[in-house]
Amino acid sequence: MSTLRFGQHFIKASAVFLQTELSFALVNRKPVVPGHVLVCPLRPVERFRDLQPDEMADLFSTTQRVANLVEKHFNGTSLTIAIQDGPEAGQTVKHVHVHVMPRKAGDFEWNDSVYDELRFLACSVCPVCFTAPRDFNPSRTERRASRLSITARCLQGSLAFKCIPCNVLLTALASDETVNCFPDCGMYRGYLAQHMEKTITLLYYFCILSTFQQID
């Protein structure tokens, strides 16, 4: 499947990192925080009240799985999980979706500002159409499709092997998405650039060892 329906929009499959029988999870073009992702029912249901019981059960079990993933992958210590249900609540895409955001101490000057940013950014596929809140970050830009794909593949690797898939490394380490994809590696970026070949080799063997540990 090359695209998935997301309300009035179509999402490239490369942005999707998890799909179950009734739900899917995708990376966000305009993340409020690093690791901000969306979990949606496969059926394009506009309002929360219209979900079938099996869809609701799958949506929340998938949200729990995704929340555990992004909190660990992005070194969060807490989570903000939110649903904007209806236009007055800030919903702009006519498709139920759960925002999952890993949180850290000090990520916002005012903790509740995360809800302001969520409201004014609305959703990843929608333009900013309101007056910006007090500490809105004007430098945030939409991430290119290639970077979304890298992030999605990194999260897929974390789900499958609890490490980064080897075929992602060369592309991801050379990109501006490195800090988001590899939150532990940001401070070592200069070193990575100077020692790329050794770094790739070490990470390659680390992934292999991690895979064998999962099999054991």
Binding-site residues for substrate sit at: 9, 28, 84, 90-93, 99
Q: In three state form, how does the secondary structure of 75-127 look?
A: CCCEEEEEECCCHHHCCCCCCCCEEEEEECCCCCCCCCHHHHHHHHHCCCCCC
- Res. 13: pLDDT tops 70: yes
pLDDT, residue 43, reads: 96
Tell me how far apart the alpha carbons of residues 134 and 117 are, in angstroms, rounded to a whole number: 9
Binding-site residues sit at: 9, 28, 84, 90-93, 99
Contact predicate 47/117, CB 8 Å: no
- Res. 46: pLDDT tops 50: yes
**Is the pTM higher than 0.85?**
no
pLDDT, residue 114, reads: 74
Q: Comparing C-alpha atoms, which of 27, 24, 112, 110 is closest to residue 73?
A: 27
- Res. 142: pLDDT tops 50: no
- Res. 76: pLDDT tops 80: yes
Q: What own/partner pairs with CB < 8 Å and gap ≥ 24 does 137-146 have?
A: 140/30, 140/31, 142/29, 142/30, 143/27, 143/29, 143/30, 143/31, 143/177, 145/12, 145/14, 145/15, 146/175
Residues 6+ apart with CB under 8 A from 33: 101, 102, 103, 107, 114
pLDDT, residue 33, reads: 86
- Res. 91: pLDDT tops 80: yes
- Res. 56: pLDDT tops 50: yes
Q: What own/partner pairs with CB < 8 Å and gap ≥ 24 does 88-92 have?
A: 90/118, 90/119, 90/122, 91/122, 91/123, 92/122, 92/123, 92/126
- Res. 174: pLDDT tops 60: no
- Res. 115: pLDDT tops 60: yes
CA distances for 61 relative to 21, 38, 78, angstroms = 12, 14, 18
Query: What are the structural domains of the chain?
Result: 3-121 (3.30.428.10), 162-215 (no CATH)
Q: Between helices 53-73 and 145-161, what is the axis angle to 10°?
A: 90
Q: Show which residues are catalytic.
A: 97
The token pair that represents 177 in the structure block: 């998405």
Tell me how far apart the alpha carbons of residues 17 and 27 are, in angstroms, rounded to a whole number: 7
Q: What is the DSSP letter of 13?
A: G
- Res. 80: pLDDT tops 80: yes
- Res. 52: pLDDT tops 90: yes
Q: Kindly report the average pLDDT of the chain as a whole number.
A: 70
pLDDT, residue 79, reads: 94
Q: What is the DSSP letter of 216?
A: -
The conformational region for residue 86 under phi > 0 = left, psi -120 to 50 = alpha, else beta, is left
pLDDT, residue 35, reads: 87
- Res. 88: pLDDT tops 90: no
Q: Which of 2-16, 102-116, 185-199 has the highest mean pLDDT?
A: 2-16
